[in-house]
Structure 1
Amino acid sequence: MSTIRVVWGSATGPTEMAAYDAALSDAGIENYNLVAVSSVIPADVPVEAVGTAPDLGPAGERLTVVEGRARAAGPTSVSAGLGWVESVDGGPGLFYEAVGEVGPDDVERRVREGLDAGADLRDWEFGEPTVRVEEASAESGEYAAAVVAAAYGESEPIV
């Protein structure tokens, strides 16, 4: 596997799905069929926070992700967060996500608590965690969506 890229986006839209699609577009992963995995970073795979994904392959292919996504009808604000911590020796690492109609500070706190809890379950020695939180706000009559995703490598054919 090549690199895991952390991307993020936020948007509003006339429907919940339109807002989510626009947030995915802001992150550069709107043209893929996202397949969610839980939270383990394979050993010796670098994680890079890039904001917007580069071209990861043809439209319609499968893209493996760990995703924090928040969506809600306005008037409201939503926050989505994703954190990661890697082993100090190049071993495996962890992702944790948190979302909600809460502020970014609360989401970041919950992500860090999740990473700490996950690290406590494992006998791996971890470095310092990194957290990215994205926020979106919507007025009455529109929807807000925020997404932070870790895209594993390149897309793959789905059929």
Structure 2
Amino acid sequence: MSSTIHVVGGAGTAPTEKAAYDAALADANLHNYNLVPVSSVVPADAEVVRVEEAPDLGPAGNRLNVVQAEASTVGPETVAAGIGWATGPGAGLFYEADAESESDVRDRLETGLDAGRALRDWTFDHEETLIERAEAAPGEHTCVVVLATYGESEPIC
């Protein structure tokens, strides 16, 4: 059975760091789930799809498995986070990174994916990245997130 992994980014600004994180999740339409971080392996039967906003993945409060890149700052600063992925006919890899600049995130993603591919005897024929960047105004808490959501959410209890 194949499943879809949605990759989505978001940015948010709020009076506190946690509120900015919640706002960034809301921008990605993932603010109503209990996020469970998983390591960065793409199952062989999964399709990875970049989306502008996460679709409805189940009821509020459910558990949702994710790979997440997240970065927060208080302005005046720039912040960026991203996920890169390499896939092929079998399993694939995600790699997460954050930094002050989009170019630093891109470099870290490429370096990480290269290292991950070198550890595995797998075939990779596709590579992609999604980077979210934001500039925080003076005194503002700003957060950026990029998440890869594994399938549908599940009840937490």
TM range (shorter): over 0.9
TM value normalised by structure 2? 0.96
Q: Deviations over 1:92-130 (max 9, x none)?
A: 000001002x21011011001100100000000101310
Does residue 106 of structure 1 match 2:101?
A: no
Confirm or deny: 8 A CA contact 2:3 2:45 kept in the other structure. Answer: no
Shift in Å, 1:72: 1.4
TM-score, structure 1 as length reference: 0.95
- Contact 1:80-1:133 within 8 A present in 2 as well: yes
**Partner amino acid, structure 2, of 1:75:** P
1:93 and 2:92 correspond: yes
Q: Which runs of 5+ in 1 are unaligned?
A: none
How many residues matched?
A: 156
CA contact (8 A) 1:12 1:136 kept: no
Q: Aligned residue for 2:53?
A: 52
Matched residue type, 2:112: G
Question: Aligned partners of 1:25, 1:136: CA distance in 2, in Å?
Answer: 15
Give the C-alpha shift of residue 51 in structure 1: 2.0
Say which is worse superposed, 1-10 or 54-63, in terms of deviation: 1-10
What is the aligned partner in structure 2 of residue 136 from structure 1?
134
Measure the CA separation in 2 of the matches of 1:74 and 1:54. 31
Match of 1:68 in 2: 69
Unmatched runs of 5 consecutive residues or more in structure 2: none
Q: Name the SS of the counterpart of 1:58 in structure 2.
A: coil
Name the amino acid aligned to 1:80. Answer: A
**Matches of 2:73 and 2:10, distance apart in 1:** 15
The letter of the residue matching 2:124 is F
Map of 1:147 onto structure 2? 145
Whether contact under 8 Å (2:6, 2:148) holds in the other structure is yes
What amino acid is the match of 1:94?
Answer: L
Q: Secondary structure of 2:138's partner? A: coil
Work out the CA distance in 1 between the residues paired with 2:130 and 2:58.
Answer: 25
Match of 2:122 among 124, 149, 157: 124
SS at match of 2:153: coil
Q: Distance in 2 between matches of 1:61 and 1:15?
A: 25
Query: RMSD of aligned C-alpha atoms?
Result: 0.9
Tell me which amino acid in the other structure corresponds to 2:70. Answer: R
CA contact (8 A) 2:75 2:136 kept: yes
